[in-house]
Amino acid sequence: MTDKKTPSKRDMKSAARLYAVQALFQMEASDETVDKVRRQFYDHFFGLETVEEGTFIEGDVDHFHMITETAVNEQAKIDQMTDRALVAKWPIGRIDSTMRALFRAAGGELIAEQTPPKVVIVEFVDVAKAFYPGGKESKFVNAVLDHMARECQPDAFKPKV
């Protein structure tokens, strides 16, 4: 019998962000509703244990719900913010669906304004590294999210007096 370490709140929120990207990707790929995909994640993914992968960390359910809900409800606004952060020749429709899901999840968390924007950027750069290990994508994600965060929450980037 093995001891299962209880994940920290921070780890659970990090896991929720990763799961939110996966859920948003799944929604786009399968054309399923946010409620149906969330239910699948709650029932079958959070805390899943497999022989190959080990135990998946339990995600923060409330944080996962907030990110996916905001990303879906504010998708047009988030996509427009993302388009403004991308160069003119690379609108959001031209980037791969995983990256689109990542920008939508991060945009949802930025719009919700429950987490400092610099934390959102760092966390989603880490998510990008999980999906694209060893690639340059994390630098691209950092630049796009920095632009989006400055647009969404400009006061958070003003120097403190």
Q: Which domains are delineated in the chain?
A: 9-153 (1.10.940.10)
1: its two tokens: 């019998």
* pLDDT at res. 48: 63
* pTM value surpassing 0.85: yes
- To which residue do tokens 């001891």 refer? 3
Reference 20, options 51, 49, 63; nearest CA is: 63
Cα torsion angle, 57, 26, 82, 63, sign: negative
* pLDDT at res. 1: 40
Residue 108 phi/psi, 5° resolution?
-60, -40
**Other CB atoms within 10 A of residue 136 CB:** 8
Asked whether 81 and 148 are in contact (CB, 8 A), the reply is: yes
Query: What residues contact 125, with CB distance under 8 A and at least 6 apart?
Result: 138, 141, 142, 145
Asked whether 85 and 144 are in contact (CB, 8 A), the reply is: yes
Q: What is the mean pLDDT of residues 21-39?
A: 94
Q: What is the pLDDT of residues 64-93, one digit of tens each?
A: 999 999 999 999 999 999 999 987 667 777
133: region left, alpha or beta (phi > 0 left; psi from -120 to 50 alpha): beta
- Helix or strand holding residue 12 (H, E): helix 9-30
**Other CB atoms within 10 A of residue 40 CB:** 14
Q: What is the pLDDT of residues 91-132, one digit of tens each?
A: 777 889 999 999 999 999 999 999 999 999 999 999 999 999
| C-alpha pair distances (Å), 7 with each of 30, 57, 60 | 31, 7, 10
